[in-house]
A = this chain, B = another copy of it.
Amino acid sequence: MPTMQDVARHAGVALSTVSYAINGTRPISEETRRRIFAAMDELGYRPNALARGLASKRSRIIALLFPAVKRGMGLTELEFVVSAADAARENGYHLVLWSTEIRDAEELQQLMRQGLVDGVVVMEIHDQDERIDLLRTTDFPFTMIGRCADNAGLNFIDIDFGQTMAIVIAHLVGLGHTHIGFLNHAVDEFEAGYGPAVRAQNRFLETVAANGLHGTMRYCEASPQAGYSAVNELRAADPDLTAVIAMNDRAVPGILRAIADQGLSIPDDFSVVAIVSSARFAEMMTPTITTAEAPAYELGRLGTEMLIRQLEGGNNDISGKLIPCKLVIRESSGESPARRSELSTA
C-alpha cells in the first residue's frame, strides 16, 4: 500500500502539500495539483481511512443503531438499513451496524467512547428512550428515525401519523364507511411508549371523533392468529363494523381469514387497509391490500443525510420533518355494504 509520503516523493512535493491537494484545505497551483493527482493514480493511492480519522478526529463513519425488536424486523426495517447505507456511501461515509443487544444506554456508551463513529442514526424510538437521553447529555451527534416525547432541539424524521390517518379515513369515509376499527401493535409496545403505536392510536381516535364516526380499537400481537381473534373482537365490540385499519402487517393474513370464515367477502362486505406497510407485502396477499405505505426509503436516507449535514457543521438548523404514508388503493377496500345497497335500490 502506497502512503501519502510515497505520493509526495513521486510528485516531488512535500507530504503536507499532497494532503492540501487532496482535501482542498489550502490553495495549490494547478501544475502541482496535476502532478500530485497523476502520482496518485499511478501508484493507485487511496488515503488510509484510519490514519485520516485519527489525525482529523473525524472518522467519516456513522452508526445505525437498530435494536432487536420483539415484533421482529420486516421489510420496512430492511429498507431503512439499505437506504441509510446508500445515503452514507453517496456522501463519502461508512455505515456501521450497531445491532440487537444495544438496547441499554450502558452498552451504547461503551461504543461511543471508542471514538469510532462521528455520529449515530437511531431507529425504533420510544417516547422515553434512554439511548436518546444519553446521546443528548453527552452531546454526541445523532438523528432519529422516529421521535420521543420531548424533541426540543433534536433532529428527527418520522412518519406523519396524523396525515396518514386522515388520508386513510378519508378514503374509507369516501366509500361510505362509518364504523371503522383500528388494529394496533401489541399492548406492551404501546405501554413501552413505542412511537408509532402511541401516535397512530391517538390520531385514529382524534380523526374518528372529528368526523363523527364510530371508532373501535384493539391491540394485537404480530401474528396471523392474533389478527384473527383481534378482528373478531372488534366485530363483537361493534357489530356494524365494515372496515378495519391495521398497523400490523403480520396480523393481516389472520384478518383476511377471519372475515372469510364469517362467510363475508372482501371488499364487498368488509374493507381492510394496512398502514405503515409496504407494496411488497400488499401484493403478496389475496386480495391485494390497500395500504398506506411507509416512506421507508426516504426515512432512512433523510435521517442519514441529516446526520451528515449536522457533522459537516455549518447547517445546524434543527428540524423535525414528518412524511405521511402514501395511500395505494388495491383490492381490499371498497364501498360499504350500506352504500352499495343504496346504489342498487336507486
Contacts and interface: CB of A to CB of B under 8 A. Distances in A.
A53 interface: yes
A78 interface: yes
A284 B223 CA distance: 9
Given A54-B54, A78-B78, A100-B82, A253 B94 contact: no
Majority secondary structure of chain A interface residues (helix, strand, loop or mixed): mixed
B114 A86 contact: no
Contact of A97 (B85, B100, B283): B85
Interface stretch (A67-75, A128-136, A147-155, A231-239): A67-75
When all copies of this chain in the complex are counted, the total is 2
A334 interface: no
Interface residues of A, number: 49
A285 interface: yes
Interface in A210-249: 223-224
B110 A86 contact: no
A99 interface: yes
Interface in A86-107: 86, 89, 94-101
Going nearest first, the 5 A-B pairs with the smallest beta carbon separation are A46-B113, A49-B116, A85-B99, A85-B97, A78-B78
